[in-house]
């Protein structure tokens, strides 16, 4: 079993209204040294897979098809093997 940590961020050329709002709120709270904020998404997925290469290939397709919008977002992920335990 594998634990995937998926990070999705807007591409640098895409406007980030959420990031601008966060930056404004931080300024309102007195954190004037914050010059830029880029907001994104973080997800954790548990996968059953026979090997790391296949799990990475599946993750890549999941990100391309659903978890990220490849037109405006970049994604990366980390994969670690974990012991299978029921939740």
CATH at residue 68: 3.30.1280.10
- Specify the number of domains making up the chain: 1
The DSSP 8-state label assigned to residue 17 in this structure reads H
Rounded average pLDDT over 6-22: 97
**CB 60, CB 4: distance < 8 Å:** no
Domain that includes residue 77, residue range: 2-13+40-81
Summarize pLDDT for 19-72 with one digit per residue, the tens.
999 999 999 999 999 999 999 999 999 999 889 999 999 999 999 999 999 999
Cα(53)–Cα(81) distance, integer angstroms: 12
Find out whether 3 and 36 touch, Cβ atoms under 8 Å. Answer: no
Cα atoms found within 13 Å of the Cα of residue 60, Cβ hemisphere only: 6
Whether 48 is in a domain gets the answer: yes
């Amino acid at each position: 079993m594998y634990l995937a940590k998926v990070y999705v961020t807007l591409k640098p050329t895409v406007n980030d209204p959420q990031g601008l709002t966060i930056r404004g709120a931080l300024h309102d709270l007195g954190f004037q040294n914050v010059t830029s904020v880029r907001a994104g998404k973080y997800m954790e997925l548990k996968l059953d897979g026979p090997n790391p290469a296949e799990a990475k290939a599946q993750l890549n397709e999941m990100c391309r098809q659903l978890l990220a919008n490849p037109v405006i977002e970049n994604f990366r992920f980390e994969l670690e093997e974990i012991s299978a335990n029921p939740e």
